[in-house]
Structure 1
Amino acid sequence: KKLPTEAISGMPFPSTKAERFGLIQEELAHEPFKLIVAVIFLNQTTGKAAIPMFRKFIDTYPTIDDIANASVDEIATLIEPLGLQNNRAKILINLARTWLSKPPTKGKRYKTPQYPTKTDSNGIKLSEVLADDDERIGAFEVGHLPGCGPYALDSWRIFCRDKCRDLAAGWNGEGAAEGFQPEWMRVRPTDKELRAYLRWMWLKEGFIWDWRTGETEVASKEELEKA
């Protein structure tokens, strides 16, 4: 079945027998602050340009405190080749300062406007902090962090949320209770690479996933053999 152009990733699709798909988010899944920094670099920028600059940035500012105490001019000069350097520098500094004062915490969810869908956060005030037993869904543990738009939220949910909530030791349900469904199974990303990653993850589980609806169907023997 031919995929729509907007669904096609620019990354090679690995075998389902491979351990990793090849996203930097997989590498940073246990370092959630760095993961969010990486996706800020990747936003509106190719991985070829963003990832080397991300590594250079982390080498220059290895701790959250280092970033929080840096000046906008210092960071902007370093990341200038990426473009949008002043805006990115301000976001990175504010992200670090907010993380230090109010890190993502289990049981504390903050409004995520128009996410996961446009109406999910309706009725939630920006000042509210939702507990896990609150059934409203337009709020997440990183919703208050600067730089956390849909791409960052999708990435964090896929790779970091279960561990943040003490539900699993990793993003694929490692160490979780029997019958646990990882968070990645509920995410419907807008980003092509994340969509491709989830298609691959679902194939590893034996299913074909439709990114437009979030629905799955059992993969045929032929489809699994091709994978």
Structure 2
Amino acid sequence: MLSVGETQKILEKLNLPPDFLSTDSSLSDVPSDFDRQDEPWCDSTNNPPTKSIHFHPPPTTSPPGTPVKQSRLLEPETPRSSRPKLPKVSPYFPVLLGDPESCLPFPPVDAPSFGLIQEQLAHDPFKLLIATIFLNRTRGGVALPVLFKVFSRYPTVDAMAVADVSELVSMIHCLGFQNQRAKKCISIAQIWQTNPPVKNKRYRKLHYPRKLDGRDVGPSECARDEDHRVAWEIAHLPGVGAYSLDSWRIFCRDELRGLATDWKGTGATTQGFVPEWKSVLPQDKELRAYLTWMWLKEGWIWDRHTGDLTPASEKMLRAAQRGGVAHEEDGNWILETSPVKKAVHGFQV
């Protein structure tokens, strides 16, 4: 298990600030109206690292009595603070940052897979977490070719742990946020080498999945499986926010805990076993679409806000069996399969 000193050496090697592990990923979390923090993993000293406080001084103003600059027939110039701010655009993104068009192909419910990269990487949780870092704020069509190129160059945890930061940055330059992404990938690999996620060792993640969750778990504490407090096996890794945690819970957690051989419950022997994916309420639109599809396979309409289930009508199930194109509207997925549509439990068929 890493000590605080060993952890700080890893951060210094990657030119990361001392509080890097105390802040949540700007790439992996859904924006919220409350502060969210990552906390360090178990450590033999039981002392959390010191957090840095960054102070930004207020902008300077003109001293009293300074005449106001006039222009255009003495019309006062618009104050700088009231001028509209132009959006910041990254040259590496094809479109402005923000949610892309919420429109996805829905395969028939009897199809073997939905088409998410997480399904392919479900048995390799390290690569799945790296994929979530690449996919955040980036379309799959842009991110995935780069992701597989990186996996080809760094196929294992050990290979990624010794990756050259500048080389990795160059490989993923087109994705934007390349410095953050590269450093997080290498940091995850280096910590994974000595403290990988394992059964019966969970760490706190403040305010996940609900506000105030994790506050009753100490910053340097490991919760065991019999402990009912909210904590997670991968919360000690840097850059692991809500999107990464949701993906890992849906596709990897049951296998890690030895409850089943995959996320669908295959091989489960525990009486009354309920797959982890059935308790996840993700914010990411593709994960929401996937869970909508998974519940439809079992004959249910799923409410993404509450997790409540409503029996799907026969007409809805027939439409789901054909598949089609769906778009998200007012929080519900609209499945379009024919020119004539009728609303059914939040869907159109």
TM-score range, shorter chain: over 0.9
Partner residue, 2:235: 143
Superposition pairs for residues 20-31 of structure 1, below 5 Å? 20-31=113-124
Residues 155-201 of structure 1: CA distance to partner in whole angstroms, max 9, x if unpaired?
Answer: 00000000000000000100002431100000000000000000000
SS at match of 2:172: helix
Letter in 2 for 1:61: Y
- 1:221: how far off? 1.1
> Segments of 4+ in structure 1 off by > 4 A?
none
Letter in 2 for 1:152: S
Q: Any conservation in 2 of the 1:10–1:193 contact (CA below 8 Å)?
A: no
Q: Any conservation in 2 of the 1:9–1:196 contact (CA below 8 Å)?
A: no
Which of residues 250, 269, 273 is equivalent to 1:158?
Answer: 250
| Structure-2 separation of matches of 1:60 and 1:19 | 30
SS at match of 2:105: coil
Superposition pairs for residues 95-174 of structure 1, below 5 Å? 95-137=188-230, 139-174=231-266
- 1:45: how far off? 0.7
Closer, same or farther: CA 202–9 of 1 in aligned 2, 3 Å: farther
Partner residue, 1:188: 281
| Structure-1 separation of matches of 2:302 and 2:238 | 31
SS at match of 2:104: coil
| Structure-1 separation of matches of 2:215 and 2:236 | 16
Residues 135-158 of structure 1: CA distance to partner in whole angstroms, max 9, x if unpaired?
Answer: 112x10000111211000000000
| Structure-1 separation of matches of 2:127 and 2:238 | 14
Normalized against structure 2, the TM-score is what? Answer: 0.62
Structure 1 segments unaligned to the other structure (5+ residues) = 1-5
Partner residue, 1:79: 172
| Structure-2 separation of matches of 1:113 and 1:192 | 22
Partner residue, 1:203: 296
SS at match of 1:140: coil
Structure having the larger proportion of residues in helix: 1
| Structure-2 separation of matches of 1:123 and 1:76 | 38
**2:174 corresponds to 1:92:** no
| Structure-2 separation of matches of 1:9 and 1:143 | 29
| Structure-1 separation of matches of 2:159 and 2:249 | 26
SS at match of 2:103: coil
| Structure-2 separation of matches of 1:114 and 1:46 | 27
- 1:223: how far off? 1.1
Letter in 2 for 1:179: G
Partner residue, 1:58: 151
Q: Any conservation in 2 of the 1:40–1:88 contact (CA below 8 Å)?
A: yes
- 1:9: how far off? 4.0
SS at match of 1:208: strand
**2:172 corresponds to 1:45:** no
| Structure-2 separation of matches of 1:214 and 1:18 | 23
Normalized against structure 1, the TM-score is what? Answer: 0.94
SS at match of 1:111: coil
Structure showing greater radius of gyration is: 2
**2:268 corresponds to 1:176:** yes
Structure 2 segments unaligned to the other structure (5+ residues) = 1-98, 321-349
**2:162 corresponds to 1:69:** yes
Partner residue, 2:59: none
